[in-house]
Structure 1
């Protein structure tokens, strides 16, 4: 004989079963058609590196600065600025839509320089952004809505992997122009200029201001002048991405040459800035987006539309990192200290390039490695093939992307010799 509880449980079982079935159907119908996304290339490298048990394994895939011991590095000026911010006991209220004003004003000064005519005239619209990626996204949305020309943006071949995704999601058509020459492991200057001249009139062109990512190949100042002329001839719109100001050469003014030259030549570019690399504020996501306009009145209208774009994206940018960056940029003593630290980071990168080339030559390598020292910035294109990069990982526990790009920041005084030996063994 069944108890009342057992009977109730038995009666409820079909209902529970139906409910579970209905929930399963709903879940399946909602998500069953979603395809599996491809794995992130850098994440895959990091995972393989972590699993490797080799005591002298080397990770050259990371896109962040490391000190000569291979450890994450927080700039002393950042520590000091952060302490100043904390001791002010500031509130945590929202910033305005365009961010912390003291930061954006200083960011524009750093980028465009104290002699900038548009800066003096008050005709540069600027907003704080979620680092450089956020700046690119705001710029893409603005151009898609308001640029009077074709909604096509040309990016270099190759370019930072996220450029295509950011601009495609901004509903811009993404096309490419020649930039890197595999045969010379250098700049395809003639191809680049020819492609610029063949673009439809009034096209949008993305330019890396310095330390081209991923190749480390930059135009010379004379080449930048010629590029500016070609852009002007085609009535194209230049969009600069400047993620490494100061980090490339160690000189913030030198690294801003291309942007400032274009402005002097009468272009009205827009700019994406990042303070991730040159201040080591990776996780703070500090950046800025700016546009050079023709007048303060035009700037006011552009600024109003930037606010309209930002509002539904994230409403207000975070304040802490911007306050730290602002303190560094506006405090004369801290600013001087920071510039010295940036130069120190750049110098270490340049030294590692020289040591790698020197070690390869000492080993008797038959290949030419001048491109290692000719390139600049955090990344270098080695010229190694995908097959050779696989051998580096599988046989020598040296990890980097399959296209031959290495993060020079991952090279140290302790591992540069083993790295050179590993490259030598697979190249001869």
Structure 2
């Protein structure tokens, strides 16, 4: 008797490059090995860095010994946390909000998600179910998981130019021309709020204004992925500028934001995130309808967001003192990243490495699109045990005062000798 089995049509799926690279690095016994692959913050000693403010809050929570700390939350998540996350993203004064701000808050429907990945997935699924866009436009290149997430949502993916390899700069002209000519009314345009992954290249404020105008005129739907607020520049205000501009200056345009707390709180494994849907009408009824429909999707997938990590974020953001300490931690991380960019650039200039390397210091955030070829990346790994993605994307956090000269010498060698 014939049996039905999924195995008859199951084909191999390529494994995730980043996690494969991390496993290879972990197995490598070479003493000078360097990991420039995975996107996590590391100290100058190459160690994980639990934020001091997070460690302080963890102790406080342990001392409080709240007996309800393992209980279920609401389907939409921890509501006080969601209000804090919304205020942080959109720039509301949580304690002394004006009447105008209180009214504006009614435009935003917020739910908790499983970090930024879950927020992106939930947003894609919600739009695919209710808006049914013909296409989603992703930057070329973009975070690789964006392709997977929108494939799962069943929305056709298209790409707009973003990176110009010859100049290693933002191809803003190509981006705007493509969206102008080919994007259709109701299409989704995915935008990185700051610290674009993988290139580290962001539009200027003037360019963001042009993008907003184009979206409004062509009736495109902006979908912001905000993974680095505060981590990129050290300022939560600066890194949310694009989102806040769209929200404040384009009130007749709906949009949404996938918000992650993995990088800016160092809560990578805690999976803390939120999804915000912005309506054009400030009304409790329509906001609650959006939340209810999001909750329907959440209930069928994961029931509710994780509690532990959001409790840490909530504790920090409800205390002026702890928030100030968090701001200082953000400056520590962003400053070290910027210092390592400068150090690598200086070493390459000192070595007179062929080509121009200003893009390393002009880029922003955790990653640098180095411009190295796949063959050069392979040579770096095989000859020098320096690990980065085949695209040439390097996690600047993996650099330190101890290894930056070694990495620069390795890059200099492969650039001179490998095509």
Root mean square deviation, CA, Å: 1.7
Q: Measure how far apart 1:31 and its partner are.
A: 2.9
Q: Does 132-141 or 41-50 show the bigger shift?
A: 41-50
Q: Secondary structure of the residue that 2:186 maps to in structure 1?
A: coil
Q: Measure how far apart 1:318 and its partner are.
A: 1.4
Contact 1:356 1:420 in 2 (8 A): yes
1:361 aligned residue: 349
Q: 1:233 aligns with which of 217, 223, 231?
A: 217
Q: Is 1:313–2:301 an aligned residue pair?
A: yes
2:133 aligned residue: 150
Contact 1:109 1:119 in 2 (8 A): no
Q: Is 1:247–2:235 an aligned residue pair?
A: no
Aligned-partner Cα distance in 2 for 1:222–1:48: 42
Q: Secondary structure of the residue that 1:373 maps to in structure 2?
A: helix
1:311-361 CA deviation, whole Å, 9 max, x = no partner? Answer: 101111111111011111111111100011011100100000000000111
Aligned-partner Cα distance in 1 for 2:37–2:165: 20
Aligned-partner Cα distance in 1 for 2:89–2:189: 19
> How many residues get paired?
403
| Larger CA Rg, structure 1 vs 2 | 1
Q: Measure how far apart 1:30 and its partner are.
A: 5.2
1:76 aligned residue: 52
Q: Does 50-59 or 411-420 show the bigger shift?
A: 50-59
Aligned-partner Cα distance in 2 for 1:47–1:132: 23
1:359-413 CA deviation, whole Å, 9 max, x = no partner? Answer: 1111122321000000001010000000110111111111111110000010011
Q: 2:170 aligns with which of 187, 190, 193?
A: 187
Correspondence 1:64-103 to 2 at 5 A? 64-90=40-66, 91=68, 92-103=70-81
Contact 2:78 2:112 in 1 (8 A): yes
Contact 1:249 1:255 in 2 (8 A): yes
Q: 2:25 aligns with which of 46, 49, 53?
A: 49
1:276 aligned residue: 262
Q: Measure how far apart 1:282 and its partner are.
A: 0.5
Contact 1:197 1:233 in 2 (8 A): no
Correspondence 1:155-304 to 2 at 5 A? 155-198=138-181, 199-266=183-250, 267-293=253-279, 294-296=281-283, 297-304=285-292
Q: Is there any run of 5+ residues in structure 2 with no aligned partner, and where?
A: none
Aligned-partner Cα distance in 1 for 2:173–2:36: 31
Q: Secondary structure of the residue that 1:154 maps to in structure 2?
A: strand
Aligned-partner Cα distance in 2 for 1:299–1:242: 21
Residues 120 and 81 of structure 1: is their aligned pair in 2 closer, same or farther, counting only changes over 3 Å? farther
Q: What is the TM-score normalised by the length of structure 1?
A: 0.91
Residues 119 and 208 of structure 1: is their aligned pair in 2 closer, same or farther, counting only changes over 3 Å? farther
2:86 aligned residue: 108
Q: Measure how far apart 1:118 and its partner are.
A: 6.2
Q: Is there any run of 5+ residues in structure 1 with no aligned partner, and where?
A: 1-21
1:10 aligned residue: none
Q: What is the TM-score normalised by the length of structure 2?
A: 0.93
